[in-house]
A and B are shown apart, each in its own frame.
Chain A
Amino acid sequence: MNKYYLNYLDELEAEAIYILREVWAQFENPVILFSGGKDSILVTHLAKKAFYPAKIPFALMHVDTGHNFPETIQFRDDLIKELGVKLIVGSVQDSIDQGRVAEEKGKNATRNALQITTLLDAIEANKVDCAIGGGRRDEEKARAKERFFSHRNDFGEWDPKNQRPELWNLLNGKHFEGEHFRAFPISNWTEMDVWNYIKRENIAIPSLYFAHEREVVRRSNSWIPLSEFLRLEQGEKVEKKKIRFRTLGDITITGGIESDADTLEKIAQEVSAMRKTERGDRSDDKRSETAMEDRKKQGYF
């Protein structure tokens, strides 16, 4: 191959860096939405590259459900220290205490949907005009419709049927006061691309992604980790399994898979042979056919 052509990972990287720089140039107060998962870690890594030798010019914003993996919080705090950037935390527990939202009831109650209010409150309180997310179009059918620069009205809502057309590399981030944008620099990456890139760049990720022994419970076809938030149903028993997580969400809804993959090399290999999508083990998406679309319209990530 002629040497003046990028391979697909380099092209995806160049595209993401371009978008991150456009965010910086077009908005007053952008933040990176940081969950501690691999996609937001990747976005942060790309931001580091985009602005080198300057520091990342964005704060990291974490919407904390209170139902975290302790490892994720440790990882977050270490990364913040290393990068020297500001951390903004929006707390779902605070939203509950203030009566902004009420805890879900019933068997499969989670704090997943509650995050929407906390997120929008944090965006408003911190006068954020662009929240950069690690969402990818291959994750889910509603996300397949996302723009790189995605408009949110003054209620934080997304109108998927009336999106601004996005042509060439020309991004339109113009907005009125009170509105904001979501930016998705890794829209065009697939799960496999993310892993291949993490491996190539040797990016540090939480230990949860690597195979480890853990106490888990079998629930709707995946291994839910034992935690103080988990209420055991009748007939459920705690087992010890060697598992790892493909995605990281709340500890209450993120199912692990049995695996021996304990290096990036082995993870990439395992993912390439996977026959199920990564969100297949996320109970938040299984609630209905349009679970993601419904949440996204209200202002979800």
Chain B
Amino acid sequence: MEINNNQLLRFTTAGSVDDGKSTLIGRLLYDSKSIFEDQLESVTASSVKKGHAGVDLAMFTDGLKDEREQGITIDVAYRYFTTPKRKFIIADTPGHIQYTRNMVTGASTANAAIILIDARHGVIEQTKRHSFIASLLNIPHLIVCVNKMDLVDFSEERFNEIEAEFEEFASKLLVKDVRFIPISALLGDNVVNRSENMAWYQGGTLLNILETLHISSDINKIDARFPVQTVLRPQRDGFIDYRGYAGRVASGIYRLGDEVAVLPSGFTSRIKSINAGEQELEEAYAPMSIAMTLEDDIDISRGDMIVRKNNQPEPSQEFDVMLCWLNNSAAKPKTKYTLVHTSNSQRAMIKEVVYKMNINSFERDSEDKDLAMNDIARVKIRATSPLMIDSYRDNRNTGSIILIDESTNETVAAGMIV
């Protein structure tokens, strides 16, 4: 299959086993012919062993031994499929409450999130929680799948009711693009193939929507940000004086001759060359990995950022962050953590917990200041020196941070700069 100009779309699925999440993914893979014969044989055999009539689609997403035994998903699993229009990466994340950290992880790079609602139960707490996280992580597209329509007689009225219910609470969220689809993952209605049972639904199938979502504007193309990962000094014939700044363009566009500033030093220069491997380029844009050289000899190292002279991020040492706590041991006040922001690492501390977010009621709690696993809170962070930050809403790559506990080396928190 020649699909060389096709884009890559990453999406996350939120929901629990009971919502039919695994069945939906299985259906998507099965009906888009992404299941191989030996996988089908092994799942068919296991289905028979467990006494299911026919193939249990949910088993295509089974992973680790413990997950199969307990019938739950413990960790994010990635699945892949390709259609003639796009390549897809699914971050299949657990829906249970104790696993919020995995959902945040899966959502962090997603273009779209699928929220599953059981048509019999409508919007429940879990729906709100998942939608809130999708909104918090600034996922550009939300696809609400009202599943198990077969169990409510494919009722248009029920579907409309749930849509209205969702929109009522979603008005508090910041998602730009929300779609609703009535589906039956079990029977295949409106997943890959159009439903014959719901002629009243005029929209596209789930796959059709995934194939046509406009994702080109998901990346910030305005603010040029280039965090330097490493400096290339080949010191070999033909490249004796070469000093290439290697990195991945976080956002925006860079062209030969552009006037740039190097942060935090503030020195300015012009772009002399842009390379992707041996290939010389006229321009580079997010999310390309490149190496650039500058006209002037400036001291630049990992953690520095090359930006346009007339469009610079705000150097800040103290800033507010929406923090999601991801570790079993709670946040320690006055403790220094390693903060990672783009290619820059610094020590930092949580100066103050402003409020904690109740993600079921969307209410703010300013009394409780303890941050434990799965808590989401607005905090004030103070770093040892200024960071070149943007707000997460404007720029996912330069607006995000993680905190690392120096006593365990574990990643304990993820933050979105307000």
Q: Which residues of A contact B (CB under 8 A)?
A: 1-2, 4-15, 17-18, 21-22, 24-25, 48-55, 137-138, 141-142, 144-145, 160-161, 163-170, 172, 174-176, 187-188, 190, 192-193, 196, 200, 272, 274-277, 280, 289-290, 293
Contacts and interface: CB of A to CB of B under 8 A. Distances in A.
Interface stretch (B16-24, B71-79, B149-157, B306-314): B71-79
Interface centre among A54, A166, A176, A276 (most CB of B within 10 A): A54
A92 B323 CA distance: 47
A219 B53 CA distance: 32
B221 A165 contact: no
B216 A166 contact: no
A137 B65 contact: no
A14 to B, nearest CB: 4
B212 interface: no
A193 B248 contact: no
A282 to B, nearest CB: 11
A145 B66 CA distance: 13
Interface residues of B, number: 77
Nearest to A140: B63
Interface of B: 1, 3-8, 36-39, 42, 62-66, 68, 74-80, 82, 86-87, 89, 101-102, 104-105, 108-109, 216, 221, 229-230, 232-236, 238-239, 242, 244, 246-248, 253, 275-278, 285, 287-289, 291, 302, 326, 338, 340-341, 343, 396-397, 400-402, 404, 409-411, 414
B263 to A, nearest CB: 18
Given A2-B216, A8-B8, A164-B411, A145 B288 contact: no
Given A172-B340, A176-B409, A276-B36, A144 B4 contact: no
A15 B82 CA distance: 18
A48 to B, nearest CB: 7
A4 to B, nearest CB: 5
A165 B78 contact: no
Given A5-B7, A161-B75, A168 B288 contact: no
Contacts of A276: 36-38
A238 B365 CA distance: 75
Nearest to B238: A53
Interface centre among B86, B277, B410 (most CB of A within 10 A): B277
A7 B36 contact: no
Contact of A21 (B62, B221, B230, B235): B230
A169 B248 contact: yes
B289 A8 contact: no
B330 to A, nearest CB: 16
Contacts of A274: 36
18 contacts: A7-B5, A14-B248, A21-B247, A25-B230, A25-B343, A48-B277, A52-B232, A141-B64, A142-B64, A145-B63, A145-B64, A160-B75, A165-B414, A167-B400, A168-B397, A170-B340, A172-B402, A200-B4
Contact of A8 (B87, B248, B338, B341): B87
B411 A165 contact: yes
Given A21-B247, A53-B234, A4 B402 contact: no
Given A1-B216, A17-B289, A25-B230, A193 B87 contact: yes
Contacts of A289: 42, 65, 68
Contact of A7 (B7, B65, B75, B248): B7
Contacts of A9: 4
B38 A142 contact: no
B290 to A, nearest CB: 9
B63 A144 contact: yes
A190 B80 contact: yes
B36 A275 contact: yes
A169 B400 CA distance: 9
Contacts of B221: 4
Contacts of A144: 63, 77-79
Contacts of A11: 7-8, 287
**Chain B interface, >50% SS class:** mixed
A6 B37 CA distance: 32
A86 B71 CA distance: 46
Contacts of A25: 229-230, 302, 343
Given A48-B277, A167-B414, A187-B78, A54 B234 contact: yes
Contact of A18 (B8, B101, B248, B278): B248
A165 B275 CA distance: 32
A277 B80 CA distance: 13
Nearest to A163: B75
B402 A170 contact: yes
Contacts of A53: 232, 234, 236, 238-239, 242, 244, 275, 278
Contacts of B397: 168-169
Contacts of B247: 21
B289 A18 contact: yes
Nearest to B405: A174
A21 B229 contact: yes
Contacts of B288: 6, 10, 14
B285 A4 contact: yes
A91 B166 CA distance: 60
A167 B341 CA distance: 11
A190 B82 contact: yes
Nearest to A146: B78
A168 B326 CA distance: 14
Contacts of A15: 287, 289
B66 A52 contact: no
Return the 7 tightest CB-CB contacts between A and B, nearest first. A49-B277, A17-B289, A8-B8, A54-B234, A174-B409, A167-B108, A8-B87
A107 B396 CA distance: 55
Given A15-B287, A196-B4, 15 more contacts: A1-B216, A6-B7, A6-B8, A10-B288, A11-B8, A11-B287, A49-B277, A53-B236, A137-B77, A145-B76, A170-B340, A174-B338, A176-B409, A190-B80, A276-B36
